[in-house]
């Protein structure tokens, strides 16, 4: 069939592609017709192809299409076209399913355009097309050839029709329309459109040569398909779909009787022979015939008497082996009865998903099973042994054949102390001979431990007037009476589990049989840390053996989180002079001790807060259960800027686990104004080989560190006394810094409390988070008011601070008091020895002698003193040739350049003591050459514990001409040099001297200012300031 389908496919493709320029619109002539496989859908395409005189394709033609859903067409042609092949291709209404086909199909016919009045196309014209052409080419007129081809196609389907199929339609309710519809339905039954086209093509090809359908396969296909047609469905489908268009379905019942369709049938052979109770077999055969099933068919076999024979329950036929016979064997069964030959029936039915083969009665066969029994007694098997505890057993008795007189058997036990039998006799007659009679055997309890005892149930020889049964001796039944008095123990289930809360469990123990002597068993726990029995042993006597003795078990508390622990109460092997009990080992009892310990920690709350002042607090931690190994818990602070944990770790063991351990925490000062801050003591996961503790995480402990930092200012001064002496160093100062670092810049305004007395070096201060701890200087200069008003007191005042740090915003520092010395008050000390010297001036211009006040000799030298305000002193030393003064030995040696002036200042932490200048020398100034200003030798030992912190503010104001270079040298173990180029010295250098270990030098060092000038100038001067004690 596959080559035929392929050929059809190629043919259809060729026909569909054969349109071209030779097809054109019809010019003349129209013949009506309908094309119906089932009816083609409206608009299905078609062609009218002109044929030659030999009915070959000429090539010319026109297109047509169906005009309604009944498949109506109008066949038109051209002037030169006499005969034509008309074909339509498309989907169609499937009359079997009532649905559209799953694909297209082509139908063709042979039309005489000049003589035909109707040009119908259907499955018969299609299958007869090649046969009609063959007959025409053989000399038969075209009309006759079409009728002959129609007749032969219908004959292949069992119909006798002599009409021309070109004149037929499915809608013909009379005549041959029914036959046409059945042929059409048969072709598509159970097939796709492509398969149906293949079958139609194959039938047409088979009919083409001789008009007869020779293929057995094609005949079988037609028969199989026709057998499965549902006439009612076909008629209903066509009527429902096309009734509104005037379509009337013909009566298909009469036409169907003419078709070679076949019904499901079976071939069943007879039984080949009889079976016997000895197991001989017989058989029969069965096979499906005539109609191939569409699905598997199962034949089911049932027996009227399954005790006489056996056979398979079913057998299976498939669409592939349906016509191959299968042999079914029957085996005879032995029923142990003298029942003669037995005949029974085997009934055969079918079941299938193919509705034609489902639930059919295939047939009934009779089978005879020949008996192999003679007169005798059948004694059945015993159901089991009996026991002293009352267990019974049964067996059955029957005859093998009907007796001619009653048959009696007496029954008895050969040992009534072990077993009894019931009934005492059995009677069989010709009516109950083949009925089983049941005998019951019961065990007897003897209360002795004697083990299982054999006993025999005796069946006496038969008593009967039937000679075949009289004296017939059945077999006896031997069985055992099982002793229920065997040595053993009954150990009951424990009442409950124990617990570490000392919950109690108990269980009973008793013997199974009375002993001949005392029986003792030891009782012990295999884990005394979990459970302890109340008794160390049990003793059973021949008197109390049946009374259960109770063992009580008390749970033990171990303080450890070891979970619920399983343990056992061990019952030792029995010790007894009774050999049946000696060495018997009772079963042990399994218990579980429920744990009441849970690993964990208990922490106490801290006793209080800590503070930045360094106060401490404590809290404790203790384990909740005894560990199986040492437990170490490390502790650390979450914020080391707020607090530290003084105890880095705590350790617990199996001995100290329940003793709380204390952890101390100390507050730390962060130097920041941050308020009270919370932090935690982080307790790390325990380090332990005890898994239950190693898996825990202790709670963290929260503490508060109380802040002790407050915003504020430190205001001080290295000199609180100013002077109206503008030419003699009239400066004082105030200095200020913050107490704590700010979070933002702090701005502070500063002003004079009395601007007629003092002036300030600055009016605004700014502190940053970087310089907050550095003092900022405010230099205070006295203002000469020209009035002798004595010492005046005033203040350096500060405004309220401004800052985005709220802690420093709006604070007002304390004012700094300043005293101002008046130039007009003169007092005389008792002696120049009382002078303290702090500042040294070396001048190039003297003071008039009339301003000097002699105060007597110092060290044998002549000197004079001039009062400064408030006890301050200026010692003026004059050269021997200047202003009428004689030379001053010890102070000025050699020719003096100009007077030297020593001035003391009141106040301050340390003063330079008397006599600290040991040598002042001067050399003449020579124009163009260097001149040496007096060299001052300072004895550090004279300054006491304060020492010399630094030497500050060396400067020269030379006027004109300017200094070309100035060198300063300070010698204490090393030389340090500074120099300047042309111009006024603009910088300030601080030289600090220290031994490196916090003390000050005790030796001497020299301060040698050296001045180089290019010409003699009387206005040249140099001022050297030496300060000690602390750095301003």
pLDDT tens column, 231-280: 888 888 888 877 776 667 777 887 787 777 677 888 898 888 899 988 89
Q: Where are the domains of the chain?
A: 2-256, 265-370, 377-482, 489-594, 601-706, 713-821, 834-1025
pTM: 0.35
Residue 821: the pLDDT is: 74
489-594 and 601-706: identical CATH topology: yes
Q: Is the pLDDT of residue 980 over 80?
A: no
Residue 767 near residue 844, CB atoms below 8 Å: no
If residue 8 lies in a helix (H) or strand (E), which one and from where to where?
helix 2-16
Mean pLDDT for all residues in the chain: 75
Residue 296: the pLDDT is: 92
Instruction: Write the DSSP string, 617-637.
Output: EEEEEEESSB-SS-EEEEEEE
Residue 173: the pLDDT is: 58
The candidate with the shortest Cα–Cα distance to 46, out of 102, 100, 107, 94, is 107
Residue 660: the pLDDT is: 94
Express each pLDDT in 299-330 by its tens digit. Answer: 999 998 988 899 888 899 998 998 899 999 99
The one-character DSSP state at 917 is: B
pLDDT classification of 3: cutoffs 50, 70, 90: very low
If residue 352 lies in a helix (H) or strand (E), which one and from where to where?
strand 342-352
Distance CA 332, CA 277 (A): 5
Query: 489-594, what's its fold?
Result: Immunoglobulin-like (2.60.40)
% of the chain surpassing 90 pLDDT: 33
Q: Where in 256-295 does DSSP place strands (E)?
A: 265-268, 275-276, 281-289
Token readout for 987 is 């910088």
Express each pLDDT in 522-562 by its tens digit. Answer: 999 999 888 899 899 999 999 998 899 999 999 888 777 77
Residue 338: the pLDDT is: 60
Residue 413: the pLDDT is: 94
Distance CA 809, CA 804 (A): 7
Q: Between 851 and 89, name the one with better pLDDT.
A: 89
Classify burial at 516, counting beta carbons within 10 Å of its beta carbon; exposed 0-12, middle 13-18, buried 19 or more: middle
pLDDT classification of 788: cutoffs 50, 70, 90: low
The DSSP bridge pattern shows strands 549-555 and 531-533 to be antiparallel
Rounded average pLDDT over 490-504: 86
Token readout for 84 is 């034509």
Q: Is the pLDDT of residue 1016 over 60?
A: no
Distance CA 631, CA 688 (A): 5
Q: Radius of gyration (Cα) for the chain, nearest Å?
A: 71
Q: Is the pLDDT of residue 694 over 70?
A: yes
Residue 822: the pLDDT is: 65
Q: Is the pLDDT of residue 921 over 50?
A: no
**What SS3 class is residue 109?**
strand
Q: What are phi and psi of 23, to 5 degrees?
A: -90, 130
The answer for residues whose C-beta is within 8 angstroms of residue 257's C-beta and 6 or more apart is: none
**For the ranges 408-412, 658-662, 703-707, 902-906, which has the lowest average pLDDT?**
902-906
Q: Is the pLDDT of residue 381 over 60?
A: yes
Q: Classify domain 377-482 by CATH number.
A: 2.60.40.10
**For the ranges 24-33, 580-589, 815-824, 869-878, which has the lowest average pLDDT?**
869-878
Rounded average pLDDT over 102-127: 92
Residue 730: the pLDDT is: 55
Q: Is the pLDDT of residue 1017 over 70?
A: no
Distance CA 947, CA 939 (A): 10
Distance CA 304, CA 776 (A): 129
Cis peptide before 423 (omega within 30 of 0): yes
**For the ranges 90-104, 707-721, 852-866, which has the lowest average pLDDT?**
852-866
Rounded average pLDDT over 967-975: 32
The candidate with the shortest Cα–Cα distance to 645, out of 606, 598, 692, is 606
Token readout for 595 is 């744990």
Q: What are phi and psi of 152, to 5 degrees?
A: -70, -35
Residue 312: the pLDDT is: 86
Classify burial at 63, counting beta carbons within 10 Å of its beta carbon; exposed 0-12, middle 13-18, buried 19 or more: middle
Rounded average pLDDT over 846-861: 33
Residue 448: the pLDDT is: 67
Superfamily of the domain at 265-370: Immunoglobulins (2.60.40.10)
Residue 78: the pLDDT is: 62
Handedness of CA 881, 887, 888, 890 (dihedral sign): positive
Q: How far is CA 45 from CA 49, 110, 914, in A?
A: 13, 17, 144
CB atoms within 10 A of CB 328: 21
pLDDT classification of 463: cutoffs 50, 70, 90: very high
Buried b (16+ CB within 10 A) or exposed e, 968-999: bebebeeeeeeebeeeebeeeeebebeeeeee
Superfamily of the domain at 713-821: CalX-beta domain (2.60.40.2030)
Residue 404: the pLDDT is: 87
The candidate with the shortest Cα–Cα distance to 796, out of 772, 812, 784, 807, is 812
The answer for residues whose C-beta is within 8 angstroms of residue 343's C-beta and 6 or more apart is: 366, 367, 368, 369
Express each pLDDT in 200-231 by its tens digit. Answer: 999 999 999 999 998 888 888 888 888 888 88
User: Hey, which of 1-15, 129-143, 927-941 has the most confident mean pLDDT?
Assistant: 129-143
Rounded average pLDDT over 4-29: 38
Express each pLDDT in 702-748 by its tens digit. Answer: 999 888 788 888 988 867 877 776 444 456 888 899 988 998 999 99
Rounded average pLDDT over 916-943: 35
Distance CA 571, CA 349 (A): 69
Residue 878 near residue 861, CB atoms below 8 Å: no
Indicate the class that CATH gives domain 601-706. Answer: mainly beta
The one-character DSSP state at 148 is: H
Distance CA 478, CA 61 (A): 107
């Amino acid at each position: 069939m596959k080559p035929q389908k392929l050929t059809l496919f190629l043919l259809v493709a060729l026909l569909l592609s054969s349109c071209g320029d030779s097809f054109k619109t019809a010019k003349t002539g129209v013949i009506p017709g309908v094309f119906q496989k089932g009816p083609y859908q409206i608009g299905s395409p078609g062609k009218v192809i002109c044929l030659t005189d030999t009915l070959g394709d000429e090539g010319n033609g026109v297109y047509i299409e169906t005009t309604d859903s009944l498949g109506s067409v109008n066949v038109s042609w051209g002037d030169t076209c006499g005969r034509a092949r008309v074909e339509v291709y498309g989907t169609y209404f499937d009359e079997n399913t009532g649905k559209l086909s799953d694909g297209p199909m082509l139908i063709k016919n042979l039309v005489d355009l000049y003589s035909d009045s109707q040009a119908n196309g259907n499955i018969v014209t299609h299958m007869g097309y090649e046969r009609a052409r063959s007959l025409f080419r053989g000399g038969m007129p075209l009309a006759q050839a079409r009728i002959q081809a129609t007749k032969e196609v219908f004959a292949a389907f069992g119909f006798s029709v002599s009409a021309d199929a070109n004149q037929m339609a499915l809608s013909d309710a009379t005549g041959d329309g029914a036959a046409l519809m059945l042929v059409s339905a048969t072709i598509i039954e159970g097939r796709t459109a492509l398969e149906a086209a293949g079958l139609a093509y194959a039938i047409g090809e088979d009919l083409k040569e001789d008009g007869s359908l020779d293929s057995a396969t094609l005949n079988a296909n037609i028969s199989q398909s026709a057998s499965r047609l549902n006439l009612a469905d076909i008629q209903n489908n066509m009527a429902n779909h096309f009734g509104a268009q005037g379509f009337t379905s013909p009566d298909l019942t009469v036409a169907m009787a003419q078709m070679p369709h076949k019904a499901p049938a079976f071939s069943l052979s007879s039984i080949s022979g009889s079976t016997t109770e000895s197991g001989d077999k017989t058989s029969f055969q069965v096979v499906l015939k005539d109609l191939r099933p569409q699905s598997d068919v199962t034949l089911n076999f049932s027996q009227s008497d399954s005790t006489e024979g056996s056979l398979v329950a079913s057998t299976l036929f498939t669409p592939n082996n349906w016509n191959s016979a299968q042999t079914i064997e029957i085996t005879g069964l032995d029923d142990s009865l003298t029942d003669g030959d037995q005949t029974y029936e085997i009934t055969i039915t079918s079941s299938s998903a193919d509705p034609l083969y489902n639930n059919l009665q295939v047939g009934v066969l009779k089978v005879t099973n020949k008996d192999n029994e003679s007169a005798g007694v059948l004694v059945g098997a015993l159901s089991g042994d009996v026991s002293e505890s009352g267990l019974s057993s049964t067996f059955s008795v029957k005859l093998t054949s009907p007796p001619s007189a009653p048959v009696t058997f007496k029954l008895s036990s050969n040992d009534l102390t072990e077993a009894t039998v019931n009934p005492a006799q059995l009677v069989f007659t010709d009516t109950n001979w083949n009925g089983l009679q049941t005998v019951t055997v019961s065990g007897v309890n003897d209360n002795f431990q004697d083990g299982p005892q054999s006993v025999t149930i005796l069946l006496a020889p038969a008593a009967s007037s039937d000679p075949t049964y009289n004296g017939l001796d059945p077999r006896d039944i031997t069985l055992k009476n099982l002793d229920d008095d065997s040595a053993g123990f009954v150990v009951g289930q424990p009442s409950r589990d124990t617990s570490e809360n000392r919950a109690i469990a108990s269980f009973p123990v008793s013997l199974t049989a009375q002993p001949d002597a005392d029986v003792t068993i030891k009782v012990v726990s295999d884990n005394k840390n979990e459970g302890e029995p109340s008794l160390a042993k049990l003793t059973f006597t021949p008197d109390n053996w049946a009374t259960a003795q109770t063992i009580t078990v008390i749970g033990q508390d171990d303080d450890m989180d070891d979970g619920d622990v399983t343990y056992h109460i061990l019952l030792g092997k029995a010790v007894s002079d009774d050999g049946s009990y000696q060495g018997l080992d009772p079963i042990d009892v399994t218990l579980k001790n429920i744990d009441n310990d849970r690993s964990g920690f208990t922490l106490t709350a801290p006793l209080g807060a800590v503070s930045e002042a360094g106060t401490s607090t404590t809290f404790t931690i203790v384990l909740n259960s005894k560990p199986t190994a040492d437990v170490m818990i490390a502790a650390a602070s979450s914020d080391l800027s707020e607090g530290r944990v003084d105890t880095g770790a705590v350790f617990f063991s199996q001995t100290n686990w329940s003793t709380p351990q204390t952890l101390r925490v100390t507050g730390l000062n962060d130097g920041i104004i941050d308020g009270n801050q919370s932090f935690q003591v982080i307790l790390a996961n325990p380090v332990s080989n005890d898994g239950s503790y190693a898996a825990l995480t202790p709670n963290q402990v929260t503490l508060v560190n109380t802040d002790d930092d407050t915003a504020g200012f430190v205001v001080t001064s290295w000199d609180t006394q100013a002077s109206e002496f503008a030419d003699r160093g009239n400066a004082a100062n105030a200095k200020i810094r913050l107490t704590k670092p700010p979070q933002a810049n702090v701005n502070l305004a500063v002003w004079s409390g009395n601007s007629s007395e003092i002036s300030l070096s600055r009016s605004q201060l700014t502190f940053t988070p970087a310089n907050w701890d550095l003092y900022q200087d405010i230099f205070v200069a006295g203002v000469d008011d020209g009035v002798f008003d004595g010492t005046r007191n005033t203040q350096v005042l500060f405004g309220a601070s401004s800052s985005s740090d709220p802690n420093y915003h709006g604070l007002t520092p304390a004012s700094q008091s300043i005293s101002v010395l008046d130039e007009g008050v003169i007092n005389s000390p008792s002696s120049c020895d009382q002078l303290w010297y702090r500042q040294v001036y070396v001048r190039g211009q003297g003071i008039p002698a009339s301003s000097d006040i002699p105060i007597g000799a110092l060290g044998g030298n002549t000197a004079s003193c001039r009062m400064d305000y408030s006890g301050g002193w200026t010692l003026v030393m004059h050269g021997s040739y200047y202003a009428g003064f004689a030379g001053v030995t010890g102070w000025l040696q050699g020719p003096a350049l100009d007077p030297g002036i020593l001035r003391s200042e009141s106040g301050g932490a340390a003063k330079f003591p008397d006599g600290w200048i040991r040598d002042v020398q001067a050399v003449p100034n020579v124009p163009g050459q260097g001149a040496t200003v007096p060299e001052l030798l300072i004895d550090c030992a004279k300054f006491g514990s304060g020492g010399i912190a630094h030497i500050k503010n060396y400067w020269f104001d030379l006027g004109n001409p300017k200094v070309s270079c100035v060198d300063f040298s300070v010698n204490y173990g090393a030389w340090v040099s500074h120099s300047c180029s042309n111009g006024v010295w603009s910088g300030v250098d601080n030289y600090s001297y220290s031994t490196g270990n916090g003390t000050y030098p005790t030796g001497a060092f020299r301060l040698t200012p050296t001045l180089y000038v290019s010409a003699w100038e009387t206005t040249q001067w140099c001022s050297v300031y030496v300060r000690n004690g602390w750095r301003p």
